Amino acid sequence: MIVIITGGSRGIGKATALKFAEAGYHLILCSKSKEHLLTAQKEISSQFSTIQIDIFEADLSKKTETAKFTAFCLNLGTPDVLINNAGIYKPGNCFNEEDNQMEQMMDLNFYSAYHLTRALVPSMIEKKSGHIFNLCSIASLQAYEGGGSYSVSKFALNGFSQNLRHELKIFGIKVTAVFPGAVYTDTWGDYDNSSNRIMEAKDIAEMIFAATKLSKQAVVEEILIRPQLGDL
Protein backbone atom coordinates (compact mmCIF):
# COMPACT_ATOMS: atom_id res chain seq x y z
CA MET A 1 0.00 0.00 0.00
CA ILE A 2 1.48 3.32 -1.13
CA VAL A 3 0.66 6.76 0.30
CA ILE A 4 2.01 9.95 -1.27
CA ILE A 5 2.18 13.01 0.98
CA THR A 6 3.22 16.42 -0.28
CA GLY A 7 4.56 18.78 2.33
CA GLY A 8 5.33 15.54 4.13
CA SER A 9 8.38 16.52 6.15
CA ARG A 10 6.76 18.72 8.82
CA GLY A 11 3.48 19.61 10.52
CA ILE A 12 0.31 17.86 9.37
CA GLY A 13 2.21 16.10 6.59
CA LYS A 14 4.71 14.44 8.92
CA ALA A 15 2.05 13.59 11.51
CA THR A 16 0.03 11.90 8.77
CA ALA A 17 3.11 10.08 7.52
CA LEU A 18 3.70 8.71 11.02
CA LYS A 19 0.11 7.49 11.22
CA PHE A 20 0.29 5.64 7.91
CA ALA A 21 3.74 4.30 8.79
CA GLU A 22 2.25 2.77 11.92
CA ALA A 23 -0.15 0.88 9.63
CA GLY A 24 2.71 -0.39 7.47
CA TYR A 25 2.22 1.78 4.38
CA HIS A 26 5.00 2.51 1.90
CA LEU A 27 5.57 6.27 2.21
CA ILE A 28 6.51 8.67 -0.57
CA LEU A 29 7.21 12.10 0.92
CA CYS A 30 7.86 15.33 -0.94
CA SER A 31 9.13 18.68 0.30
CA LYS A 32 11.24 21.50 -1.08
CA SER A 33 13.71 21.03 1.81
CA LYS A 34 16.02 18.03 1.55
CA GLU A 35 17.19 18.64 5.11
CA HIS A 36 13.65 18.42 6.50
CA LEU A 37 12.92 15.33 4.41
CA LEU A 38 15.99 13.52 5.71
CA THR A 39 15.11 14.45 9.28
CA ALA A 40 11.56 13.16 8.86
CA GLN A 41 12.74 9.99 7.17
CA LYS A 42 15.15 9.29 10.01
CA GLU A 43 12.53 9.96 12.69
CA ILE A 44 9.90 7.74 11.07
CA SER A 45 12.39 4.96 10.33
CA SER A 46 13.53 4.95 13.95
CA GLN A 47 9.97 4.11 15.01
CA PHE A 48 8.92 1.89 12.11
CA SER A 49 12.06 0.27 10.75
CA THR A 50 10.38 -2.25 8.44
CA ILE A 51 8.52 0.15 6.14
CA GLN A 52 9.81 1.70 2.93
CA ILE A 53 10.18 5.48 2.92
CA ASP A 54 11.07 7.27 -0.30
CA ILE A 55 11.72 11.00 -0.32
CA PHE A 56 11.86 13.54 -3.13
CA GLU A 57 12.98 17.14 -3.00
CA ALA A 58 10.85 19.41 -5.18
CA ASP A 59 9.29 22.85 -5.24
CA LEU A 60 5.76 21.89 -6.27
CA SER A 61 4.88 25.49 -7.06
CA LYS A 62 6.80 24.82 -10.28
CA LYS A 63 5.03 22.62 -12.82
CA THR A 64 8.29 21.17 -14.14
CA GLU A 65 9.29 19.94 -10.67
CA THR A 66 5.82 18.53 -10.08
CA ALA A 67 6.23 16.54 -13.30
CA LYS A 68 9.55 15.13 -12.05
CA PHE A 69 7.96 14.13 -8.76
CA THR A 70 5.09 12.47 -10.62
CA ALA A 71 7.51 10.36 -12.66
CA PHE A 72 9.33 9.38 -9.47
CA CYS A 73 6.06 8.28 -7.85
CA LEU A 74 4.77 6.28 -10.81
CA ASN A 75 8.07 4.47 -11.07
CA LEU A 76 7.38 3.16 -7.55
CA GLY A 77 3.78 2.13 -8.29
CA THR A 78 0.20 3.37 -8.33
CA PRO A 79 -0.70 5.26 -5.14
CA ASP A 80 -3.45 3.93 -2.90
CA VAL A 81 -3.66 7.27 -1.08
CA LEU A 82 -2.68 10.74 -2.31
CA ILE A 83 -2.57 13.55 0.25
CA ASN A 84 -2.19 17.00 -1.29
CA ASN A 85 -0.89 18.86 1.72
CA ALA A 86 1.79 21.20 0.32
CA GLY A 87 0.97 24.82 0.97
CA ILE A 88 2.08 28.20 2.21
CA TYR A 89 0.36 31.00 4.12
CA LYS A 90 0.99 34.71 3.83
CA PRO A 91 -1.41 37.19 5.44
CA GLY A 92 -2.90 39.99 3.41
CA ASN A 93 -5.96 41.44 1.78
CA CYS A 94 -6.70 40.97 -1.90
CA PHE A 95 -6.91 44.69 -2.63
CA ASN A 96 -3.53 45.69 -1.18
CA GLU A 97 -1.33 42.61 -0.54
CA GLU A 98 2.13 42.62 -2.11
CA ASP A 99 2.38 42.17 -5.86
CA ASN A 100 2.60 38.54 -7.03
CA GLN A 101 1.26 37.15 -3.75
CA MET A 102 -1.82 35.70 -5.46
CA GLU A 103 0.36 33.89 -7.98
CA GLN A 104 2.52 32.43 -5.19
CA MET A 105 -0.51 31.20 -3.26
CA MET A 106 -2.19 29.71 -6.33
CA ASP A 107 0.94 28.02 -7.64
CA LEU A 108 1.61 26.05 -4.46
CA ASN A 109 -1.73 25.83 -2.67
CA PHE A 110 -3.80 24.99 -5.73
CA TYR A 111 -1.81 24.19 -8.88
CA SER A 112 0.55 21.75 -7.15
CA ALA A 113 -2.46 19.59 -6.23
CA TYR A 114 -4.11 20.15 -9.61
CA HIS A 115 -1.11 19.07 -11.69
CA LEU A 116 -0.01 16.22 -9.44
CA THR A 117 -3.49 14.75 -9.18
CA ARG A 118 -4.12 14.97 -12.93
CA ALA A 119 -0.87 13.14 -13.60
CA LEU A 120 -1.50 10.34 -11.08
CA VAL A 121 -5.23 9.78 -11.63
CA PRO A 122 -4.94 7.78 -14.89
CA SER A 123 -3.05 4.99 -13.08
CA MET A 124 -5.64 5.05 -10.29
CA ILE A 125 -8.47 4.84 -12.82
CA GLU A 126 -6.78 1.85 -14.40
CA LYS A 127 -6.58 0.22 -10.97
CA LYS A 128 -10.16 1.33 -10.19
CA SER A 129 -9.27 2.37 -6.66
CA GLY A 130 -7.58 5.08 -4.64
CA HIS A 131 -8.29 7.88 -2.20
CA ILE A 132 -7.39 11.54 -2.71
CA PHE A 133 -7.26 14.02 0.17
CA ASN A 134 -6.97 17.76 -0.39
CA LEU A 135 -6.01 19.91 2.62
CA CYS A 136 -8.34 22.80 1.99
CA SER A 137 -8.45 24.60 5.39
CA ILE A 138 -11.38 26.45 6.90
CA ALA A 139 -10.10 29.34 4.77
CA SER A 140 -11.87 27.50 1.93
CA LEU A 141 -15.26 28.12 3.50
CA GLN A 142 -15.55 31.83 4.19
CA ALA A 143 -13.62 35.06 3.89
CA TYR A 144 -11.82 36.41 6.95
CA GLU A 145 -9.62 39.34 7.82
CA GLY A 146 -6.11 38.86 6.44
CA GLY A 147 -7.05 35.79 4.41
CA GLY A 148 -6.57 37.43 1.03
CA SER A 149 -5.00 35.33 -1.68
CA TYR A 150 -4.43 32.42 0.71
CA SER A 151 -8.16 32.08 1.22
CA VAL A 152 -8.80 32.42 -2.52
CA SER A 153 -6.32 29.64 -3.29
CA LYS A 154 -7.97 27.38 -0.75
CA PHE A 155 -11.41 28.15 -2.18
CA ALA A 156 -10.00 26.97 -5.51
CA LEU A 157 -8.72 23.75 -3.93
CA ASN A 158 -12.13 23.13 -2.40
CA GLY A 159 -13.79 23.63 -5.79
CA PHE A 160 -11.30 21.23 -7.34
CA SER A 161 -12.13 18.67 -4.65
CA GLN A 162 -15.87 18.93 -5.27
CA ASN A 163 -15.42 18.43 -9.00
CA LEU A 164 -13.02 15.51 -8.54
CA ARG A 165 -15.49 13.82 -6.22
CA HIS A 166 -18.19 14.07 -8.89
CA GLU A 167 -15.93 13.00 -11.76
CA LEU A 168 -14.06 10.10 -10.16
CA LYS A 169 -16.77 8.29 -8.20
CA ILE A 170 -17.64 6.05 -11.17
CA PHE A 171 -14.04 4.80 -11.21
CA GLY A 172 -14.03 3.70 -7.57
CA ILE A 173 -11.77 6.58 -6.53
CA LYS A 174 -12.67 8.45 -3.33
CA VAL A 175 -12.08 12.16 -2.80
CA THR A 176 -12.10 13.90 0.58
CA ALA A 177 -11.77 17.63 1.23
CA VAL A 178 -10.19 18.36 4.62
CA PHE A 179 -10.98 21.64 6.40
CA PRO A 180 -8.77 22.06 9.49
CA GLY A 181 -8.99 25.06 11.76
CA ALA A 182 -5.92 26.28 13.65
CA VAL A 183 -3.31 23.51 14.06
CA TYR A 184 -0.16 23.89 16.15
CA THR A 185 2.87 23.44 13.90
CA ASP A 186 6.25 25.15 13.65
CA THR A 187 4.73 27.79 11.38
CA TRP A 188 3.23 29.27 14.57
CA GLY A 189 6.72 30.13 15.77
CA ASP A 190 6.87 30.81 19.53
CA TYR A 191 3.08 30.67 20.05
CA ASP A 192 2.30 29.39 23.54
CA ASN A 193 -0.10 26.47 23.21
CA SER A 194 0.34 25.25 26.79
CA SER A 195 -3.40 25.77 27.31
CA ASN A 196 -4.13 23.53 24.30
CA ARG A 197 -6.06 26.33 22.66
CA ILE A 198 -5.44 25.03 19.13
CA MET A 199 -5.31 21.54 17.69
CA GLU A 200 -2.38 19.20 17.24
CA ALA A 201 -1.23 17.95 13.85
CA LYS A 202 -1.92 14.37 14.91
CA ASP A 203 -5.63 15.26 15.30
CA ILE A 204 -5.84 15.86 11.55
CA ALA A 205 -3.74 12.78 10.80
CA GLU A 206 -6.08 10.57 12.83
CA MET A 207 -9.13 11.79 10.90
CA ILE A 208 -7.50 11.35 7.51
CA PHE A 209 -6.39 7.83 8.33
CA ALA A 210 -9.80 6.88 9.72
CA ALA A 211 -11.46 8.02 6.49
CA THR A 212 -9.39 5.47 4.54
CA LYS A 213 -10.72 2.56 6.62
CA LEU A 214 -14.34 2.58 5.42
CA SER A 215 -15.87 0.00 3.11
CA LYS A 216 -15.41 0.63 -0.61
CA GLN A 217 -19.04 1.74 -0.92
CA ALA A 218 -18.63 4.56 1.62
CA VAL A 219 -16.72 7.83 1.38
CA VAL A 220 -16.17 10.73 3.75
CA GLU A 221 -16.61 13.67 1.40
CA GLU A 222 -15.58 16.37 3.89
CA ILE A 223 -13.69 16.54 7.17
CA LEU A 224 -14.31 19.79 9.09
CA ILE A 225 -12.35 19.96 12.32
CA ARG A 226 -11.91 22.98 14.58
CA PRO A 227 -10.43 23.72 18.02
CA GLN A 228 -12.88 22.94 20.82
CA LEU A 229 -13.17 26.63 21.73
CA GLY A 230 -13.68 27.65 18.12
CA ASP A 231 -11.54 29.56 15.63
CA LEU A 232 -9.02 32.12 16.78
Asked, for residue 9, whether it belongs to a domain, the answer is yes
pLDDT for residue 54: 98
Report the CATH number at residue 70: 3.40.50.720
Does 220 map to a domain?
Answer: yes
Q: Report, as an integer, the average pLDDT of 118-135.
A: 98
In a domain, residue 231? The reply is no
- Distance between CA 38 and CA 71 in Å, rounded? 20
Q: Would you say residue 90 lies in a domain?
A: yes
Q: How far is CA 30 from CA 66, 70, 217, in A?
A: 10, 10, 30
Instruction: Indicate whether 189 pLDDT > 80.
Output: no
CA-CA-CA-CA dihedral for 108, 114, 118, 119, to nearest 10: 0
Question: What confidence score (pLDDT) does residue 192 get?
Answer: 80
Q: Which structural domain, as residue segments, surrounds residue 142? A: 2-225
pTM value? 0.95
* Angle, alpha carbons 183-202-46 (nearest 5°): 130
Q: Are 2 and 25 in contact (CB under 8 A)?
A: yes
Total structural domains within the chain: 1
Flag whether 230 is in a domain.
Answer: no
Residue-wise pLDDT tens digits, 41-100: 999 999 999 999 999 999 999 999 999 999 999 999 999 999 999 999 998 999 999 999
127-156 confidence digits (pLDDT tens) = 999 999 999 999 999 988 889 999 999 999
Instruction: Please state, in angstroms and rounded to a whole number, the distance separating the CA atoms of residues 112 and 115.
Output: 6
The pLDDT score that the predictor gives to residue 137 is 93
Backbone phi, psi, residue 209, to 5°: -60, -45
Q: Is-contact 164 132, C-beta < 8 A?
A: yes
Residue pLDDT, tens place only, 162-184: 999 999 999 999 999 999 999 98
Query: What pLDDT score does 171 carry?
Result: 98
**Is position 83 within any domain?**
yes
158, part of any domain: yes
